[in-house]
Structure 1
Amino acid sequence: MAIILTTLKAVGVDREDAEIPFDAKRQVIRGPSETGKSYIRDCLWYMLGGEKPPKGIPLAEGYQELQLRLAADGNQYEVRRGLSGGGEAIYHRPLNNPDASAFEPLEDDLGDLLVKLSKAAGKQILRNQSDRGPVTGDDLRHWSLWSQTEIPGEDPTSGQGYATTKRISSFNLFLSGTDDAAIQVNKTKAEVDRIKGQLTSAEAALERTKAGLPDDVKREDVTDALERVDRTLAAMTTQYEARSTLLKQMRRDIADTSDVLTRIANARNHAKSMVARFELLEQKYSNDLARLGATNEGVAFFQELPSVPCPLCGTPTEMQVDPQDLTPAAPAKYRVAIAAEADKIRSLRSGLLSALLRETQRYDTLRVEAERVAQLLNGLQRQEALAIEGSRIEFDADPKTLAFRRSDLTAQLAIFDEVERVTAEIARLKASSVRKRLVVNRDGGTHGRAVADRSKALLESWGFADIENIALDAEECDLVINDRPRLSYGAGRRALYLSSLVIALMEHALQEGHPHLGVVVIDSPLKAYADPRFQESTDVPLARVTDKFYAWLSNWSGNGQIIVLENEEVADATAEILKPIEFSGVPGLGRPGFFPHRDILRSNMSPGLFGDAPGSLGSVED
């Protein structure tokens, strides 16, 4: 892709439009000085994104806006900017759609749009030794639009100042199609200053860190001491773990034995309680038998006693008690009942004695077992006490003291590690703070050879048959002709040699599909060659060079668009084909200049804008 300029127009209220059409391939705008040719170049620079508006001239008074139309990628674009400055407005419409007559606004930035249309979007170029960035509209304009002073100038093609690096990079991008994305740039001065600040902080941190170490301590000593402490603690840990395992088993045995003893003691106490109860019950049975025996003897004695009246009142016995109790059978019944009750108690007592004997035996057995288990439990408890007591005297070192010592040694070792880290960081920062010169090998290679050969062919077609060899210095972005740098020649040859270079670069870039704006504007490439001040450079006749240059341009059909602004006249036969736009510089004779002629009071004219020549129209430079 590339752009094609179609028209440049200046409009204003109550002013006739000033419009310049451009042929899609080549356009010559010719006329004498002070007719506005260089003004057109300045307008194109401004309308393609330049910041500086064209110089104010009297004939431009009343004109408010410039409009530039260009075609690219199947669309027509119109850029509008105020002559007095400010931003741009962009409009577009399809080229091949007859119904799309009205332009629609486009929100793109002009520089970004030109970069995209020139296939340079996403390409990275060096801006300086420490910065890399995208291609901008300024890079495109610099290698496409050449002013009347730049063409024969003695300055390098990349210019002078801060922008030189990026212009060299963009030239080589157009030449080879390869950008600088893979080139590692240097650090900026701000980054280096920041690194130096970090270096100072790191050095101060190193001194603070070293202050935490004794003067005579060495890392090896600290490491050895830490290993010894770790071995001691490991041995103690191993012993404690073994003893802990043993104690755990002992305590499990103690717990199990204690549970057994508890169960036996409970059973023993229960047997003892039963024995006591049975003994108490046996005493009750004995007492009951004794009472029943005494009762039986009393009843028997009562039977043997005679019946006598009351000694006091003389009342007979049978009148004092129930007569039934005095019958001979009554005491016998009592004695039978007593005998039956005594038999029952004796029977119960027999079973009780058997149970008492069994519980007594059980109690004795449980008592003996309880004593045995209690002795076993006491033995286990003594073993536990001995094991615990043994751990207190087995190690001379105190684990707490060893732990504190290990903490101190670990802290010292951490300080040594920090010293090593900070020292390494200081070394890295010192290496990073050095800004090495960025060396980029700009070798045009086959692309440079192709552009040089194309430039040679152009110069030969323009009449320069004395060129024996030609090369492209990609580092200088310039030609070396007959083993001489272009800038070593006179102004006339410098101008034409540079013209051949920028045209050849455009053709090569577009042919190879490399980024390029697609248009070259050259202001007065022949003027310096025709200037009497540079006659020493015109070893090839001017008429010959002029005629051949215009004849070549009239038949040129290469890649891109060429716009030439020139003073030198075009031969009639060539003009029939080339159809240049002629500025007469004379009111009423053809087209006077860029702006339509109108009378301007001499008092309103700024000195130096018109010159002293009659008929001057007040444009810049030309």
Structure 2
Amino acid sequence: MLRLTITHLTFIGTNVESASVEFGPQLTLVRGPSDTGKSFIVDALNFMMGAKSLKEIPEREGYSTVLLGLELPDGEHVTLARSVAGGGFSLYNADLRDGPLPVADGTLNWKHDHRSESNVSRFLLKQVDLDGMRVRRNAQGMTDSLSFRNLVRLCVVDETQMQSDTPPALTGNWTGKTKEISVLKLLLEAEDDSAVIAVPSAQEKSRVSGAKVEVIDRLIAEVEAKLSGTAEVGQLRDQLARLNNAMNEQNAAMSEVWSRRAEVNERLRQAQQRLHDARTEMAEVVALQARFKLLRTQYESDLARLATIKEAGNILGYFATGLCPFCGAESEHQHYNLECEGDSTAFAASVDAEIQKTENLLADLLLTIDDVNQRAVQARVDSESTDGRIGDLRQTLREIENDLAPKQSDLRELAEVRSDIEKSLTFYEQLAGLQRMKVQIEDDVQRDGAAISDGMSPNALQEFSRELSDRLGDWGFPDAQSVRYDRLAQDIQAGDQLRSAHGKGVRAILHAAFTLGLAQYCFDREIAHPGFVVLDSPLVTYRPPDNLEDGEVDAALPAGIIAAFYEDVQSRLDGQVIIMENLDPTDPLHGDSVDVVFTKRLDRGRYGFFPPKVSIDP
């Protein structure tokens, strides 16, 4: 049987130390803490097998080229080189692990094209004797040429796929479901769909020839152009969830500052109102003081006039008995009448009474003036103290605003990024809607999938189910004997539930069993298969039921499961297996296995896939 073996993955660049990991022909375990580059290795392997783009991480800075070493079935070693920016491949008929690179022995396009041999897909398919195969894509028997990308998803599984509730053989893109089932059928039955004759119905002819499909295709092309260079939906949703969490945390951090700002603003408003009241009071007092000053002057003028009258009366004898000061008559000749009444002393009493009344009014006025003056002093004190308080509050507000400014700026930036992500997700939704419309016009995809599923060999499915059950039983998976592959759901049935209905830990274990079991199924029957399996974190999230006491929290896998898993992949799998894991094996690996340990420490062992950009202090 023809198989490929991955020998190494290497990143090179100018003025940077090469980053490389070597893989053995059997098991290679790459283990260590998170954020050391394990998942990035899986992404890079996928990229070097024809994926459009490579994930950007800070550690990748300075590296320009990726090298993938392969051992071909005839024992020849070749190297595929590709820019980290994507595009085509350079092919070298040698095992290269450093730069500068020589002149390439050939070039390969990154995109599959059945009409040309100069693409990486057909180059790799030829090595495993799958070039030229065709797979069915709809119920009418229309077929597409097999691409190596159709096989990669069945042997290179990243952590997201491992835990996804999408069936292992499918991508979740319902427009491609028929083709994906056909690819699985090809590996299970060793027979492609070249002999299938396309017989489109009259309705199908009418749909395909109509202008609707052309319009939808143009719309799809426009939306795809807008999504060029955009991350995948799952990554965007993860980014959106992280952004929402970050914005919630930022809002929570700012809420206390906002509350304080609102409180200070209210206190400032109250102080400004008090200042306004104090200044109004001062204005009123000033007006009263002016009026009272005029009134006091008037009273004092009246008293001075009355004093003059009294003094003049005394001097002229207006207030003594004898000759009448008004008519000059002697006493005996004086007559009481309305003009004189014969009593000149009454006039003096009237003057005295008027003086007394005016003095009393003046005394009351002086008391009032004193009270108004006190009010003026108090209003001035209140105005000055409130004005100072307002200055302090405004300074406090400036400090709060200075504290808020960077947080609000960060929040605005997060909001802008979220808006871009939501816009991209909207485009993806539009694209999915257009694709659904196209499928409704062209094919009934559900009927297509059912037609292909119905055509799968019952014997092949039974044998594959037995492979899954036996493998899971060796691992110690509960009720492994009940596990089977469900033809209609195209998913693994474990117990009374499909894989998609289980938790992510069980989904990961079942996906690992599917991928490893499919490879061994092909190896045992000499059916074409790429020859390698790459799994990212198949164990870290799984815990069997009833493993912990009540109230105990521990997501770690029991030692027995870990040991059984590694023993199985080392003893019962004939091809190459590359595993990325956070968990350490409980038993030493076999002598022919490769154990790559990342420590995430500068002072011990290998830090991670990429060399650290800092040096250890002496």
The normalised TM-score by structure 2 is 0.53
* Correspondence for 2:180: 167
**CA-atom RMSD in angstroms:** 3.4
Q: Tell me the amino acid that sits aligned with residue 68 of structure 1.
A: L
What is the CA–CA distance in structure 1 between the aligned matches of 2:209 and 2:105, rounded to whole Å?
51
Once residues 584 and 530 of structure 1 are traced to their aligned partners in structure 2, the CA distance between those partners, rounded to angstroms, is: 25
Equivalent of 2:473, from 431, 446, 460? Answer: 460
Letter in 2 for 1:146: V
* Distance of 1:593 and 1:499 partners within structure 2: 24
Instruction: Find the counterpart in structure 2 of residue 588 from structure 1.
Output: 603
* Superposition pairs of residues 543-558 of structure 1, within 5 angstroms: 543-553=559-569, 555-556=570-571, 558=573
Report the equivalent of 1:65: 65
1:433-448 → structure 2 map (5 Å cutoff): 437-438=447-448, 439-440=451-452, 441-448=454-461
Q: Which residue of 1 aligns with 2:249?
A: none
> Is 1:127 the counterpart of 2:143 in the alignment?
no
Q: Deviations over 1:370-409 (max 9, x none)?
A: xxxxxxxxxxxxxxxxxxxxxxxxxxxxxxxxxxxxxxxx
Seen in structure 2, the aligned counterparts of structure 1 residues 466 and 119 have a Cα distance that, compared at 3 Å, is same
Provide the rounded CA distance (Å) in 1 between the counterparts of 2:24 and 2:529. Answer: 19
Between the aligned partners of 2:22 and 2:543, the Cα distance in structure 1 is 27
CA distance in 2, matches of 1:113, 1:560: 20
Report deviation, 1:579.
3.9
CA distance in 1, matches of 2:470, 2:208: 53
Return the letter of the residue paired with 1:549: F
1:448-597 correspondence to structure 2 within 5 Å: 448-529=461-542, 542-553=558-569, 555-556=570-571, 558-574=573-589, 578-597=593-612
Once residues 537 and 458 of structure 2 are traced to their aligned partners in structure 1, the CA distance between those partners, rounded to angstroms, is 31
SS of residue matched to 1:29: strand
2:540 and 2:557 in contact (8 A); partners too: no
SS class of match (1:496): helix
**Whole-Å Cα distance in 1 between the matches of residues 210 and 588 of structure 2?**
71
Higher relative contact order (CA 8 A, sep 6+): 1
User: How far apart are residue 185 of structure 1 and its match?
Assistant: 4.0
What is the match of residue 153 of structure 2?
142
Matches within 5 A, 1:173-212: 173-185=186-198, 187=200, 191-193=205-207
Task: Tell me the residue number matched to 2:400.
Answer: none
1:111 is matched with 121
Q: 1:72 to 1:121 in 2, by over 3 A?
A: same
2:488 & 2:135 partners in 1: Cα distance?
14
Residues 286-305 of structure 1 aligned to structure 2 (within 5 Å) = none
- C-alpha displacement at 1:186, in angstroms? 5.8
Q: What is the 5 A alignment of 1:367-446? A: 437-438=447-448, 439-440=451-452, 441-446=454-459
Contact kept, 8 Å, 1:2 with 1:118, in 2: the verdict is yes
Inter-CA distance 540–459: structure 2 relative to 1 (3 Å threshold): farther
Residues 442, 584 of structure 1: alpha-carbon distance in 2 compared, 3 angstrom cutoff? farther
Bigger mean CA deviation after superposition, 18-27 or 465-474:
465-474
> CA deviation digits over 1:179-230, x for unaligned, max 9?
1223344649984246679xxxxxxxxxxxxxxxxxxxxxxxxxxxxxxxxx
Gaps of 5+ in 1: 96-100, 198-432, 601-614, 616-622
Evaluate the alpha carbon distance shift between residue 124 and residue 88 of structure 1 in structure 2; reply closer, same or farther with a 3 A threshold: same
CA 17–129 in structure 1, closer or farther in 2 if over 3 Å, else same? same
- The amino acid across from 2:568 in the alignment is W
Determine helix, strand or coil for the equivalent of 2:485: strand
Q: 1:155 maps to what in 2?
A: 166
Question: Using a 3 Å threshold, how does the CA distance of structure 1 residues 597 and 166 change in structure 2: closer, same or farther?
Answer: same
- CA shift, 1:80, in A, is 0.3
Instruction: Identify if the C-alpha distance between structure 1 residues 435 and 61 changes in structure 2 by more than 3 Å, giving closer, same or farther.
Output: closer
Larger Rg: 1
Say whether 1:33 aligns with 2:34: yes
Which residues of structure 2 form unaligned runs of 5+?
A: 97-101, 109-117, 212-440
Q: Check 1:591–1:122 CA distance in 2 against 1; reply closer, same or farther (3 A cut).
A: same
**Distance in structure 1 (CA, Å) of the matches to 2:25 and 2:199:** 43
1:23-102 alignment, distance < 5 Å: 23-53=24-54, 55-74=55-74, 75-93=76-94
User: In structure 2, the residue corresponding to 1:14 is in which secondary structure?
Assistant: coil
Percent identical among aligned pairs is 25
Q: In 1, distance between residues paired with 2:15 and 2:460? A: 52
Change (3 A) 1:52 1:482: same
CA shift for structure 1 position 169:
0.9
Q: Name the residue aligned to 2:392.
A: none
Distance 1:458 1:194, change over 3 A: closer
Looking at structure 1, the residues matched to 499 and 530 of structure 2 have their Cα atoms a distance apart, in angstroms, of: 24
Check whether the contact 2:543–2:556 (CA below 8 A) recurs between aligned residues: no
